[in-house]
Amino acid sequence: MSNDSLDPRVNRLKLGNAGEAVRVEEGENWNSYEVFHQEKRGAHHEHVGCVHAPNRELALIFAKEQFARRKKCVNLWVVRSADILAFDVEDEDMFANNAEKNYRDASGFKVMEKINKYKQSKK
């Protein structure tokens, strides 16, 4: 390659031949870690994305660089993507609520009617 870059730093690199193949080996970009971000004390940690890192200590450092550059952050968690266990997204119908589950909800219990009826009967 002719040394005609506008960037003197590029010219100093003495770049190789354009035709030369460079291959990155599988695994050279390390492993994937999921990142959880806590915006303020007392808040939940929320999933914000992933970083690639060789180990969890470096994953934390990269996560700080990637996800805490601007917005407020007081803490970060990282966990290997391989260690996340999740339900199959295709099974999301199992979370559907049905009408008979109102025994689990506050709205499933109505007392005012009985109280009013009782008060009425005592008059």
50 Cβ contact list (under 8 Å, min separation 6): 32, 33, 34, 35, 81
Shortest spacing between CB 35 and another protein, in angstroms: 10
CB atoms near residue 26 (< 10 Å): 6
> Of 39 and 80, which CB lies nearer to another protein in the complex structure?
80
Residues 22-51 close enough to bind another protein by CB under 8 A: 22-32, 34, 47-51
Binding site for another protein (CB under 8 A): 1, 5-7, 9-10, 13, 15-16, 18, 20-32, 34, 47-52, 54-55, 58, 65-66, 69-70, 80-84, 86, 88-90
